[in-house]
Chain A
Amino acid sequence: MDIFVQQIINGLVLGSIYALVALGYTMVYGIMGLINFAHGEVVMIGAMVAITVIKLLADSGLPGVVIVLIGLFAAAVACMAVGFTIERVAYRPLRKAPKLAPLITAIGVSIVLQNVAMLVWGRNYHSFPPILPTSQHEILGATITSLQVAIVLIAALTMAGLMLLVHRTRLGRAMRATSENPAIAQLMGVDIDRIISLTFVIGSALAALAGLMVSANYSIAHYYMGFILGLKAFTAAVLGGIGNLAGAMLGGILLGLIESLGAGYIGDLTGGFLGSHYQDVFAFFVLICVLVFRPSGLVGEKVAERA
C-alpha cells in the first residue's frame, strides 16, 4: 500500500513537470502545425541557467527560496530569448515550406542547442545546491517533501493561469483564431507573426519553470537532459491529443503516473527480470499504443464542422 501511494506521489510530481513541457509542444503545434523538437533543449537551458545562477548566489546569505526565485527569473528570461530566437531564425523562414523542412530543422536546432550547452557548461553533471528547506510529510505511509508539494501546486497554478489566458483574454482569442485559421485571423487584424512569437515565448517560459523543477527535484542537470525529457513530454502531448491544452496537461499527469507505477512494480511483475531502470520504456510503449490505437489522443477530437 505505501509503495503504491509513494509511486502515485512521485508520478504526480513527475507528471506536473511533463505537463508543463508538453504544453510548450502542444501550443506550438496548435498554432503552426510544427513539432518543435528543440523544446526539450529549451527546458535543459532553463535548468542550466537556473543552476548556474543559484550556485552563484548560494553563499550570498539570501534565503533559499529567494535565490531559487532569482534563478527562475534568470532561466525564464534566457529561455524566452532562446525560444524567440529559434522561431525567428529557424522556423519563420520556413513558414511556407513543406512540413518536413521545419521538422528536420527542429531536430537540427535541438542538436545545435545541445552542443552550445556542452561548450558553455561542459560535459559534467551540475548539482543543485541544497539551499531549499527540506521538510518531509507523511501521507498514508508515504513521504512527500515540501519541494514536491511546491512543484505540484506551482505547476497547477501556472496551468490554470495559462488556461485563463487562452480562454478568457483577447490575446488568447487571437491565439486560438490563429490556430484555427491564420489567413482569416489576419483578416480580423491579428498580426500572426506576433502571435506566433508570443506562443514560443510563453511556451519557453513554461519550459524554464519545468527545467528548474526537474533540476531541483533530481538535484542535478546535464547538457543532454533535454533530449529524453523532451521526447517524454512530446509523448504526453500526443497521449492527450496534440494541439489540445487540456490534453497536454492530462497526458503529462497520466504519463507521470504510468511511469512511476510501472517503475515501482515492474520488478515484481517480471519476477525481478526487469528492474526500475526500465522506467523510460513505459513512455515509449504508451506512445506506440496511442499512435496505433488512438492517434488523435485522449481528448484530441475535433468538433464536427459542417459546411
Chain B
Amino acid sequence: MLEVTGLRVSYGGIQAVRGVSFHVADGEMVALIGANGAGKTSTLKALARLLDAAGGSVRYRGEEISKLPPHMLVGSGIALVPEGRGVFPRMSIVENLQMGAYCRDDKAATAADMAHVFALFPRLKERAAQLAGTLSGGEQQMLAIGRALMSRPRLLLLDEPSMGLAPIMVQKIFEVVRAVARDGMTVLLVEQNAKLALQVSQRGYVMESGTITLTDDSAKLLATPGVRAAYLGE
C-alpha cells in the first residue's frame, strides 16, 4: 500500500532523515520506533506533505505522492493524527469532526461515521458542543483520532499518540487503535513508547539518527537484546 524509498528530509542544512526506505502492506499495522530526534516525526510529516521531502520517493497504491499539494492527500485516503494532537481549539468537538469529513459530500454516511466515532469514544459524545481547547490532553488525542477517522482513510498515520498522556488514557487510546486496525485499517504508528508500539503492531522499524537500522516482526524485535537495551529500558 505504501512504499517509501530513499526518503530524505532536511531543515536548512541539517539532514533529519537520511534516505529511509520501508513499506506498509494492506491491512498491516507497522510501528516506527526510535529515540527522540531520530527523525520519526519528520518522516511522517514528509509522508503527510506537511514538509517537502529533499529526495526519495513515496508511492501510495502505486502513485507517487511526494509532490502532491498537501490538501489533496486526504482525498486519496491518507489521514495523519499529528504529533501534539493539532485539534482546532476554538471549534467545538462536532466541528472538529466535521472538519475531518471536509472533503466528503455524502451527508448520511458522514453522520453515520460521526456516530461511530462517538461510539468508540463516548467521552467525546458527552462533550460534543464543548470547545476542543477545553478538553484534557487525552480527550484531545481521542478527538484527533476521531477526526482522522472521519475522512474514512485507507491508511492512518499516527504520530506519538501516547505522548504526554496518563497510562490509563494511553491504554484507552490504544484499545481503539487496535480495534480500528482489527476492522482492516492500515496503520503506520510512530511511537517513542517502543514496548507498546511493538505489542500492537505486526512489524517494526527502528530508526536512529535519520536512518533505519533494524527491521523485523514486532514480536522478534521485542525479543532482540539490542532493542531491549536501547528502547525498552532493560
Query: In this complex, which of B73, B89, B151 has the most chain A Cβ atoms within 10 angstroms of its Cβ?
Result: B89
* List of B residues within 8 angstroms of A190 by Cβ: 71, 99, 102
Interface residue? A248 (CB, 8 A): no
Interface centre among A189, A190, A191, by most chain B C-beta atoms within 10 angstroms, is A189
**Is A181 an interface residue, CB under 8 A from the partner?**
yes
Among residues of A, the one whose C-beta sits closest to the C-beta of B89 is: A305
A187 touches which one: B74, B136, B164 (CB < 8 A)?
B74
Give chain A residues whose Cβ lies under 8 Å from the Cβ of B91.
173, 176-177, 180
- Closest CB of chain B to A194's CB: distance in Å? 9
Residue of B nearest to A183 (CB): B50
Least CB distance from B216 to A in Å reads 31
Contacts of B80 in A (CB 8 A): 187
**Could you say which of B18-26, B31-39, B118-126, B127-135 contacts chain A?**
B127-135
Interface residues of B in 100-117 (CB under 8 A from A): 100, 102-103
Given contacts A173-B99, A180-B88, A185-B99, contact A304 B164 (CB under 8 A): no
B102 engages A306 (CB within 8 Å): no
Q: How many residues of chain A are within 8 Å of chain B by beta carbon?
A: 23
Are the CB atoms of B88 and A306 closer together than 8 Å? no
Q: Which residues of B contact A302 (CB under 8 A)?
A: 90
Query: Closest Cβ of chain B: how far from A304's Cβ, in Å?
Result: 6
Is A189 touching B135 in the complex (CB atoms < 8 A)?
no
Query: Does the CB pair B90–A304 fall under 8 Å?
Result: no
Given A173-B91, A184-B82, A306-B134, A189 and B74 contact (CB-CB distance below 8 Å):
yes
Question: Once the chains bind, are A189 and B50 in contact (CB under 8 Å)?
Answer: no
By a CB distance below 8 angstroms, the chain A residues around B90 are 176, 180, 302-303
CB distance from A150 to the nearest CB of B (A): 34
Q: Given the known A-B contacts A303-B89, A306-B135, are A177 and B71 also in contact in the complex, defined by CB atoms under 8 Å? A: no
Known: A180-B88, A187-B82, A188-B100. A306 touches B133 (CB 8 A): yes
Residue B30 at the A interface, CB < 8 A? Answer: no
Contacting residue for B99 out of A183, A188, A303, CB 8 A: A188
B48 at the interface (CB under 8 A from A): yes
Q: Is the CB of A304 within 8 A of B88?
A: no
A117 at the interface (CB under 8 A from B): no
Bound-complex Cα distance A14 to B111 (A)? 45
Q: A173-B98, A304-B134, A306-B137 are in contact. Are A187 and B70 (CB under 8 A)?
A: yes
CB proximity to A under 8 Å, residues B72-88: 72-75, 79-80, 82, 84, 86, 88
| A186 at interface, CB cutoff 8 A | yes
Within 8 A of B (CB), among A170-228: 170, 173-174, 176-177, 180-181, 183-192
Contacts of B135 in A (CB 8 A): 306
Decide: B102 and A307 in contact? CB cutoff 8 A.
no
Q: Bound state CA distance, A177 and B151, in angstroms?
A: 16
Name the interface residues of B43-81: CB closer than 8 Å to any CB of A: 48-50, 69-75, 79-80
Q: Are B102 and A188 in contact (CB under 8 A)?
A: yes
> Hey, which chain A residues are within 8 Å of B100, CB to CB?
188
CB pair B89 A174 closer than 8 Å: no
- Chain A residue nearest to B164 (CB atoms) is A307
B93 CB to nearest A CB, Å: 13
Contacts A173-B91, A184-B82, A303-B90; is A189 near B133 (CB within 8 Å)?
no
Residues of B within 8 A of A180 (CB): 88-91
State whether A184 and B102 are in contact (beta carbons under 8 Å apart), knowing that A189-B74, A306-B134, A306-B135 are contacts in the complex: no
A76-117 contacts to B (CB < 8 Å): none
Contacts of B136 in A (CB 8 A): 306
- The 30 listed contacts between A and B (C-beta, < 8 Å) are A173-B91, A173-B98, A173-B99, A176-B88, A176-B95, A177-B88, A177-B99, A183-B50, A183-B70, A184-B86, A186-B71, A187-B70, A187-B80, A188-B99, A188-B102, A188-B147, A188-B151, A189-B74, A190-B102, A192-B71, A302-B90, A303-B89, A303-B90, A303-B133, A304-B133, A306-B135, A306-B136, A306-B137, A307-B84, A307-B137
Measured CB to CB, the residues of A under 8 A from B are 170, 173-174, 176-177, 180-181, 183-192, 302-307
The 3 residue pairs across chains A and B that have the minimum distance between CB atoms = A189-B103, A189-B74, A186-B70
Chain B positions within 8 Å of A, measured between CB atoms, are 48-50, 69-75, 79-80, 82, 84, 86, 88-91, 95, 98-100, 102-103, 131, 133-137, 140, 147, 151, 164
